[in-house]
Structure 1
Amino acid sequence: MAMTPEELQILQRIETQLTTMPFYVVEYVRSKKRAGLSPDTLLQYLYRYQHFFQWLQREGLAQSSDLASIPYTLLAEMKKHDMELYIEYLREETIPYEKETTKKRGDAVVNLSIHALKSLFNYLTKETETEDGESYFYRNVMSKIVLHTKKETASRRAQKISSVILNEQEIHEFLHFVEHEYEAMLTSGISKQRFSRDKERDLAILSLFLGSGIRLGETARILTKKVNLKKQLIDIKRKGAKEDTVGVMDQAIGHLKSYLSIRESRYKASNEVPFLFVTLYGGAARPLSRRSIENLVNKYTAAFAQGEGMSPHKLRHSFAADFIRNGGNIVLLRDQLGHSNIETTSLYTNLSNKDNQQVLNRMEKNRTKQLDIRSESPN
């Protein structure tokens, strides 16, 4: 399958990082790449390994002069206490931030480092093989490190999400705003020219998020030849390089048709440019990057809300909540969103609190009525 310029750049960065890594990390990356682990994840893991190996050197645990020379026997001998010290260091280390300030890592980044190390140690102790057919080593110290995550009920998580998504009416109003009202807010001629050029494309992107629930990365990788307007289906590439087909709502199909009718003439996008969503750069069509898609979603949602914008992921949440509100079941939604775990999908069953609130209102009304009856009755 064709790769976007961003994906090619990520692969180049991976290869650059591998030149400084020990051979067993190179083997790990090659193996996981074949198994379908996304390049994004592999690159982030490599950054985590680099940080970990550099810490080993600073602490005097690794005597090697360069990272590539750190032997796997050192990892085999690591003590639980050493790993706990490293995790503590991850949480406490101050790192550069904006305007010459510093900050500490959030839990998500710390947990990413732990996941990365767990994955590497699992590979080295279970999937590697020496000439004798044995794994490189068997003592997995990372198996003793437990991830402690904050516990939240599904209802609580749903409430946090529902506060930053569009409801059914707002979805309609938002798309109408972009199509008919947004241009009037623009003050410069250049802004109006760009909007006029990109209107059909941008509407197709926004409508597709809200009419199918696909992810940002999946949207950026859509190939024109994989769009079936008649059957209202699009073949996409899910996480882990899994091929899938997703259904699309009528309104999104209509916006896609409008975009495709001007795609070649307006962006000079011939058949040699396989990706569906493109931009005009240097007089030629280029695939629209994930960052560009993210920025345009933020731009339009911020203008609509007259405040803070939203991410493509929030539009995905909006679609999922609307799917459930309209009677869709959790299994169908799981397949539509491409979730591998139905527990993730079950979150959306708690997003609509109308029935729950109606019950509470009735309870309140009945309790008040009982108080009124008691107050009116003679002593």
Structure 2
Amino acid sequence: HDACDFIIDHAAASSLTRISTPWLVSECDWNDKLIKGASIWLSEKLNKAILKLTNEDYNEHGMGNLVAEIGSAEHINLIVFNQLQRTITGWPGGKPNADDSQRPERKDPYPKTSLIFSPHPDDDVISMGGTLLRLVDQGHEVHVAYQTSGNIAVFDDEVIRFLDFAKDIQKDNSALLEQFKKVREFIDNKKPGQVDSPEIQNFKGLIRKGEALAACRYCGVKEKNAHFQNLPFYETGTVKKKPYSEEDVQITYDLLNKVKPHQIFAAGDLSDPHGTHRVCLQIIYSALDRLVEEKAEWINDCYVWLYRGAWQEWDIADMEMTIPIGPMDMERKKSAIFKHQSQKDSAMFPGNDQREFWQRAEQRNTETAEKYNALGMAEYEAMEGFVRYKFN
């Protein structure tokens, strides 16, 4: 229509030129974040390392007033180069006995208590497996909270396979045999789109719980530090979930108060097909807001880091901490992902990307390292990026 107004929020407008690259539209009020984003954009556009950009490069791409304001391209380049370099650390829990004034994480206390929230039972190793392994290797007390059971993402055949095993182990258990017969009959007569019985939903959740525990053991996370929250909003047996409730927030609030972490890692990739990641993050935010309101003492010494992985990645300009992953650690990360057998080969809900989750994770982490390398940073095998959420 010739007279149509579009009313959109900042996220919906993020790809518009005047939001993503405002210097191409008009003069900007420059701040550190905008300078960083503009220089990275220019570096990628011209295929030049940050330190090789010239006054002419900036002038020809709408940033003449930035050069006039800062003084020279060399000065701008150094500012951005140093910002990028300070995001890179091999110590996601902070490096003890080191100057932490230019590091993304604090050196004290050491070791830290780290709590990783995983919306589904495999998001922790898919999205930040390299960082998780590094935290364990460096002696931190790592907890993982699996927010949902993930039961709808398990194929019926997996249930039959596990029940066949249980039946052969306990051949004389008449109750188990009767249960197996009942479940098999339900699956054999199941119609497309039919909701699983509560019994089968429970079995599927137990399958994913076992896989998550296997991944924890492989990574060195203590089994007692694996928390299976099974948040109620998820337990509908269908793709469509319930709105989250006070019960979901209370479960998360109680866990936070029990663990009292020095750092929290949570999923910030909001593009998973059915919105579970988004809801899980909102629940965490609600619990944190309550803790801040109540002035919980430990919350003042807690950093919250948001990761992405299976569905999307942070822009380089947004990353505030990046963890380099070497070739051996990338293999370890993939091995941890492989522990989730029910999600391997063919995931139930792959979204628009038909590749396996380990392939997506490897490609994203490798691409991040390549982008940092192209900007003039050290060349790494792969990298995992994080953005800090400041709640107080």
TM-score with structure 2 setting the length: 0.31
Q: TM-score, normalised by structure 1?
A: 0.32
Q: Highest CA radius of gyration, 1 or 2?
A: 1
